[in-house]
Amino acid sequence: MSTFVMPSLGADMESAVLMEWKIKEGDRVEKGQVIAEVETSKGVIEIEVFEEGTVDKILVKEETECTVGTPLAIIRTDNETLEEEMPTQTLQHLDEKRPHTDATIDIPVSESSERVKASPAARRKAKELGIDLFSLAATTGEVHLSHVESAAPAEPVEQKTQVSGMRQAIARAMSRSNSEIPHYYLTTSINMTPALHWLEEMNAKRSIKDRILPAALLIRAVVLSLKAVPELNGFWENDAPNIKTQINAGIAIALRKEGLITPALLNAESMNLDETMHSLDDLISRTRAGKLRNTEITQQTITITNLGDLGVESVYGVIYPPQLALIGLGRIINAPWAEGDALCVRKVMQATLAGDHRATDGRTGAKFLEKLNDLLQHPEELL
């Protein structure tokens, strides 16, 4: 028997709502099959199962909120004769990085990164009543349940600006990044004229359905550069870098209404340019439609943010823990450019690397940016 548990969908996630079962008891399931949909602060995510077998029992009803690790279903794996206890499904590696000491409830209305001394009961009550523990602690010191109760207003408190779940998740991850990761930044200007010209010529020969957008070309170039400088791709785990050969490029995608998700282009290292374009298009559509899979939102090995359409020229990113680097690509602008002795106008892009200085030094980062620049001067190598 194997217990299918609520997976951790990111270091910042504590619970999610099981929205819909895609299977019923007695169904056969295969490795990689989507068996449920859960709603998280990142939207609705499809959850895959990682083994083959038969659904023995469903333990949780639809529309139930479950904390990470809650058993959701029992799956009887094949070639199982005895009712032996199988190890539960391995939680995502990110889970190890969760602050285990910090199991208490978050107080979303507070901005401060300092923790208030408060009893668990006081925290729970404060959350229920919408009372800010920080302002309470300012007068009481350590906060106990009685303090919270006496501070409770007779009327429901006026709601402070509602912070969405996604905003809270971003806030937690970014605060953690800035407090834990010693960032270093490197920037280089890249002449994009040769690559864009090459792309235009190629697209002119293709039908509209097969066109490649500059964003796909850039991601392909970043992925190839990472193959050459793999030290930037992976995780900081147990005080050491854990370098990955698989490149799951987290692509920053803005949602139309609010917020930002960086789902992974899984196994980007195995894709050619056409496949990169096709997968990227599919990933963007599914992100905006709220149809991402759990592997796509948990297994990013690096983040790429391409603000091309937003109009700023450079972006100094905040690394998403436990990743080792973030690559920021600015808007491509017409800029003066020196070639030999002549001054001309070229399409120029600022490429910025944010690196974790615990894992790599500027020399590694510089090698990466040099490779990126070099590839974009020879775009035919990106096919």
What is the contact surface with another protein in residues (CB under 8 A)? 200, 203-204, 207-209, 211, 213-215, 254, 256-257, 280-281, 284, 308-309
Write out the two tokens for 113.
């990164």
CA–CA distances in Å: residue 251 to residues 140, 175, 290, 301: 45, 20, 15, 11
Residue 73: other Cβ atoms inside 10 A: 22
User: Judged by CB, which is closer to another protein: 5, or 252?
Assistant: 252
Shortest Å, Cβ 211 to another protein: 6
Nearer to another protein, 11 or 252 (CB): 252
d(CA 339, CA 92): 49
Number of Cβ within 10 Å of residue 124's Cβ equals 15
Chain centroid to Cα 336, Å, comes to 36
Strand order in 34-40's β-sheet?
A: 64-67, 15-21, 34-40, 43-48, 292-293
Q: Residue 209 Cβ, how far from another protein at the closest point, in Å?
A: 6
Question: Least distance from C-beta 284 to another protein, angstroms?
Answer: 5
> Least separation, in Å, of the C-beta of 42 and another protein?
18
Rounded alpha-carbon distances, angstroms, from residue 119 to 12, 127, 216, 231: 22, 12, 51, 43
The tokens describing 137, both together, are: 């602690």
Instruction: Find out whether 356 and 348 touch, Cβ atoms under 8 Å.
Output: no
Residue 344: strand pairing partners: 337
- Please, what is the minimum distance in Å from the beta carbon of residue 288 to another protein? 9
Nearer to another protein, 24 or 256 (CB): 256
Identity of the residue, 59 or 254, whose beta carbon is nearer to another protein in the bound complex: 254
CB of 281 to another protein, least distance (A): 6
Identity of the residue, 100 or 257, whose beta carbon is nearer to another protein in the bound complex: 257
CB contact at 8 A, 312 and 325: no
| Closer to another protein by Cβ: residue 151 or 304 | 304
Could you give the C-alpha distances from 351 to 38, 140, 222, 323, 333, in angstroms and in order?
A: 36, 50, 10, 18, 13
Residue 315 near residue 328, CB atoms below 8 Å: yes
C-beta closer to another protein: residue 102 or 281: 281
Q: Kindly state the smallest distance separating residue 208's Cβ from another protein, in Å.
A: 5
Q: Select 107 or 265, whichever has its Cβ closest to another protein.
A: 265
Give me the least distance between CB of 203 and another protein, in Å please. Answer: 5
- In the chain, what are the helix, strand and coil shares in percent, each to the nearest 5? 30, 30, 40
